[in-house]
Structure 1
Amino acid sequence: MTGPIAEGMRRRRSQPSVSDAAPTKRELVPLIEAAASVADHGSLRPWRLIALRGDARSRFGSAIVEATGLEGGAAEKMAAKPLRAPLLLAIVVSPKPSHKVPLWEQEAVASGVAHALSLVLDEAGWGVMWRTGHYTRSGAVHRMHELKPDEYLLGWLYVGGTKKQKGGRRKPVKAKDLLSSL
Structure 2
Amino acid sequence: MPTRGPAAEAMLRRRSRSSVGDAAPTDKRLRKILEVAGTVADHAALHPWRVIAIRGEAREKVGRAIAEASGATGSDADKLARKPLRAPLLLAIVVSPVRSEKVADWEQEAVASGVAHSLSLLLDEDGWGVMWRTGWYTRAEALHRAHDLAPGERLLGWLYVGSKETRSSKPRTTVNAKKHLSRL
Q: Same fold (TM over 0.5)?
A: yes
Tell me how far apart the structure 2 counterparts of residues 177 and 121 of structure 1 sit (CA, whole Å): 30
Q: 2:47 corresponds to which residue? A: 45
| Matched letter for residue 161 of structure 2 | V
Q: 1:176 aligns with which of 162, 175, 178?
A: 178
TM-score when normalising by structure 2: 0.95
Q: 2:163 aligns with which of 161, 165, 172?
A: 161
4+ runs of 1 displaced by more than 3 Å? 165-171
Tell me how far apart the structure 2 counterparts of residues 68 and 87 of structure 1 sit (CA, whole Å): 22
**Residue 22 (structure 2) pairs with residue 13 (structure 1):** no
| Matched letter for residue 24 of structure 1 | T
Tell me how far apart the structure 2 counterparts of residues 171 and 153 of structure 1 sit (CA, whole Å): 30
Root-mean-square deviation (CA), in Å?
A: 1.2
Tell me how far apart the structure 2 counterparts of residues 43 and 118 of structure 1 sit (CA, whole Å): 21
Shift of the 166–133 alpha-carbon distance from structure 1 to 2, 3 Å rule, reads farther
How far is 1:166 from its partner?
6.4
Tell me how far apart the structure 1 counterparts of residues 167 and 64 of structure 2 sit (CA, whole Å): 29
**Residue 114 (structure 2) pairs with residue 98 (structure 1):** no
Tell me how far apart the structure 2 counterparts of residues 166 and 11 of structure 1 sit (CA, whole Å): 11
Are the counterparts in 2 of residues 128 and 157 from structure 1 also a CA contact under 8 Å? yes
Aligned residues: 182
Are the counterparts in 2 of residues 91 and 153 from structure 1 also a CA contact under 8 Å? yes
Are the counterparts in 2 of residues 35 and 120 from structure 1 also a CA contact under 8 Å? yes
Unaligned runs of 5+ in 2: none
Q: Which runs of structure 2 are paired with 1:33-182 in the superposition (5 Å)?
A: 33-165=35-167, 168-182=170-184
How far is 1:19 from its partner?
0.2
Shift of the 177–114 alpha-carbon distance from structure 1 to 2, 3 Å rule, reads same
How far is 1:120 from its partner?
0.3
Unaligned runs of 5+ in 1: none
TM-score when normalising by structure 1: 0.96
Are the counterparts in 2 of residues 20 and 161 from structure 1 also a CA contact under 8 Å? yes
